[in-house]
Chains A and B, each alone.
Chain A
Amino acid sequence: MKAQKNEQMVHRFNKGFIVSHWVQAISFFALYITALPLYTDFFSFLYPVFGGPEGARLLHRIFAVFFMLPFFVLLIFDRQGLVNWTKRILTWKKNDFSFFLAFPKEFFVGNDKVPKQDFFNAGEKLNSLLIIVTTLMLIGSGLILWFPANFSQSVVQWGITIHVVGFSLAMLTVVAHIFLSTFHPNSKASLRGIIKGDVPVSYAKEHHGQWYDELVEKGEIVEEKKKSKGA
C-alpha cells in the first residue's frame, strides 16, 4: 500500500520484528526450493542449478542455519515485539472465533461486517500459530535428519515424516498469508507494516478495531471526530 499524502500513520512493528520476519520468509523459500526435487521429481531439473544433489544438500543446510535465527533476532533486538506477539496470538476471544464466520466472504469479495479485531486479527493469529508449530516441527526434525547418526532408526524415520507434514502445512499457510498481505485489496495495506513498520490509522481502525480503541484510549492517536473523505 502506498501511503497517501497526509495519510496518518501508526507504528506497528519494530525493526527487529521486520528483520526477523524476512529472514524467516527468505530462508523458508530457499529451503523449499533446494529440497523440492526430493518432494516431487517433477523438479529434478533444479539439481544442476544447485550444483547437483550434493550442492542442493549443502545449500539446504546453509539456509537451515538462517531459518533457525528469527526467534533469536526477536529475543535480542525486539523483546517487546516478541512479548506482544506471543501474548496476543495466544489470546482468543469471542471476536476471534466469529472472525472465521465472516472470513470466507471477506476472502472472496470483501465483507463489511467483520467483527472488531485485535492488534493481530484472528487470521493472523492462526497464521502465527501455524508458522510457529511448523517451524518447530521443521527445525526439530531437520536437526535429526542433519545428524542422523545420533538417533535411532525409527526416530530418523519419523523425522522425515514430520518434516514432510511440517513443510506441507507451512506452505499452505504461506500461500494464504502472501495472498492476503500482498494481493487482497482489503488487507494489502498491512504489507507496509512489515516493511516500513507503520500502517495507516484508517487501516488500523478498519481491520484492527480493538487495537485502534486501545491506541485511542492510551492517547497515542486522537480519534477521528467525523468520517471524512480522504484523497
Chain B
Amino acid sequence: MTAYAKFVDVTICTGCRGCMVACKNWNDLPIDTQAYNGTYQSHDKCDGKTWNVLQMKEFETASGGFEWLFRHQACFHCTDAACEKVCPENAITTTDMGNVVIDQEKCVGCSYCVYNCPFEIVALADYVNEDGKIVQRAQKCDMCDSRIHEGLVPACSQTCPLDAIVFGTKEEMRKLAEERLAIAKEKFPNAMIYDPPGVDGTNMFYLLPEGPEAFDLPVNPKVPTSAVIWKDYAQPLGKMALGGTVMAVATAFITNKLFNKGHGHDEEGGDIDESTKE
C-alpha cells in the first residue's frame, strides 16, 4: 500500500474558491446558503453538505502589516483516524491509498465520529437511504475516492489554478512541501509544514505561512484520550469481564446443583409465630 496525499500550499493560495465549486460539482453536494456573518468567508466551516471551505483570515503580521490568509479546509485523512476508531459499524475505513472514506449504507448516524474528529470536520447531513427515506448520516470529504482510484486527482486539485493543491504519493508530496517551504520562508519566516504527528500524520497536509493558531487549527491534534480509553480498554475489558462473569455464574449454577448440600432455610422454620408489622 502506497499512501497518497493531498498537499495544500496555503502560502500561494489566492482564495479563488475554485476548489469549493469543483467539490460541490463532482460530489453532487447540495447548495447550502449561509447568512452573511461579517466576513468574506462563505461558510462557517466544513460540514456534511460542504466538504471543503475556503477559510479567510485577516492576519496582522509582526511588523503591524496586513495579510490575507486563505486556507483550503477539508478532511485531513489522518493516518490514525479517530473517526474510524470510534465508528461502531465499521462504516469508516482507510482505503489502500490512505484516504478515509465513509460507507453511508453502513453508517447509522450515531455521531461518534462527529464528536471525536480532532479537526471537527465530519458532520451529519441528509442522506436518502435504500428505502427512499431521508436520514442523517455522517459525511465528509473522501478525497474524491471515485477519482483517485481511477488515476485522476481530486476535483479540488484538478481545478486549482495555482498548484496550491497537489496530489501524489505522500513521499513525493513531502518532498515538494520541503521545496516549497524553503521558498515560502523568504516571505513568511514562520512558515511550517503542518502534518501533525499526534495522529501519525495526515494525508491532507499543509504548508502554512504562519503557525496553526493563526488558522484556528489545533497545535497538537491527537485521537482523544477518552476515545483511546473507550475503544482500547473499556470496551475489550468490558467484553472480557462480561464473558468471565457469565462463565462464573454458569459454573456456579452447575457446581451448586452438584455439590450444594443445601443449608437452605427449607429445612428449618415452620413453627415460628408470625407477628410481623411494617
Q: Chain A interface (Cβ within 8 Å of chain B)?
A: 4, 6-11, 37-41, 44, 47, 52-54, 107-110, 112, 148, 153-154, 156-158, 160-161, 164-165, 168-169, 171-172, 175-176, 179, 183-186, 189, 198, 200-203, 205-207, 219-224, 227-231
The answer to whether A168 touches B273 (Cβ under 8 A) is no
Contacts of B257 in A (CB 8 A): 185
The closest CB in chain B to the CB of A188 belongs to B264
- Besides A160-B230, A221-B274, 15 new A-B residue pairs in contact (Cβ under 8 A), listed by A number: A8-B273, A9-B274, A40-B88, A160-B86, A161-B229, A164-B234, A165-B234, A168-B238, A172-B241, A176-B245, A176-B249, A206-B264, A221-B272, A222-B272, A229-B270
At the interface, yes or no: B110 with Cβ under 8 Å from chain A? yes
Contact B249–A175 (Cβ < 8 Å): yes
9 A-B pairs with the lowest CB-CB distances in the bound complex, closest first: A202-B269, A230-B270, A168-B238, A202-B265, A53-B108, A110-B260, A8-B272, A161-B230, A161-B226
Cβ B227 vs Cβ A11 within 8 A = no
- Give bound CA distance, A4 to B257, whole Å: 21
Interface pair B264/A161, CB less than 8 Å apart:
no
Mask: chain B, 151-190; 1 = CB below 8 Å from A; 0 = not: 0000000000000000000000000000000000000000
CB distance from B85 to the nearest CB of A (A): 12
The reply to whether A38 and B270 form a contact with Cβ atoms under 8 Å apart is no
Inter-subunit contact A198/B276 (CB<8 Å): yes
Q: Interface of chain A, helix or strand or loop or mixed?
A: helix
Number of interchain pairs (Cβ within 8 Å): 178
Q: How far is the CA of A27 from the CA of B266 in the complex (A)?
A: 33
**Complex interface residues of chain B between 231 and 259 (CB less than 8 A to chain A):** 234-235, 237-239, 241-242, 245-246, 248-249, 251-253, 255-257, 259
* B44–chain A nearest beta-carbon distance, Å: 15
Determine whether the beta carbon of A109 is less than 8 Å from that of B115: no
Cβ of B126 within 8 Å of any chain A Cβ, yes or no, is no
**Closest residue of A by beta carbon distance from B129:** A52
Candidates A8, A52, A186, A227; contact of B264 at CB < 8 Å: A186
Question: How far, in angstroms, from A231 to B268 measured CA to CA in the complex?
Answer: 8
Q: B245–A175 contact, CB under 8 A?
A: yes
The 8 Å CB contact of A107, one of B224, B246, B252, B275, is: B252
Q: Is the CB of A203 within 8 A of B265?
A: yes
| Given A168-B241, A220-B275, A224-B272, A154 contacting B226 (CB threshold 8 A) | yes
Decide if A157 touches B272 in the complex (CB within 8 Å).
no
A8-B272, A109-B260, A231-B270 known; A39+B277 contact, CB < 8 A: no
Per the bound structure, the CA–CA distance linking A44 and B110 in Å amounts to 13
Q: What are the residues of chain A within 8 A of B263 when measuring CB–CB? A: 110, 112, 186, 206
**Contact partner, A228, options B88, B89, B111, B271, Cβ 8 Å:** B271
The answer to whether B271 and A108 have CB atoms under 8 Å apart is no
Measured in the bound complex, the distance between the Cα atoms of B235 and A221 in whole Å is: 49
Residue B213 is within 8 A (CB to CB) of chain A in the complex: no
In the assembled complex, the CB of B40 is this many whole angstroms from the nearest CB of chain A, namely 27
* Contact present for B115 and A160 (CB under 8 Å): yes
Contact of B256 among A11, A109, A153, A164 (CB under 8 A): A109
Q: Are A220 and B277 touching (Cβ within 8 A)?
A: yes
Interface pair B262/A222, CB less than 8 Å apart: no
- Which of the residues A160, A172, A179, A221 comes within 8 Å of B112, measured between beta carbons? A160
- Which B residues touch A38, using CB under 8 A? 88, 108, 110
Q: How long is the Cα–Cα vector from A178 to B135 in the complex, in angstroms? A: 39
- Say if the beta carbon of B120 comes within 8 Å of chain A: yes
Q: Contact partner of A44 among B89, B120, B253, CB < 8 A? A: B89
Closest residue of A by beta carbon distance from B263: A112
Question: When the two chains form their complex, are residues B90 and A41 in contact, meaning their CB atoms are under 8 A apart?
Answer: yes
Closest residue of chain B to A47 (Cβ to Cβ) is B108
Kindly provide the distance from the CB of A12 to the nearest chain B CB, expressed in whole angstroms: 10
Is B278 interfacial (CB 8 A cutoff)? yes
- The reply to whether B226 and A179 form a contact with Cβ atoms under 8 Å apart is no
The answer to whether A37 touches B88 (Cβ under 8 A) is yes
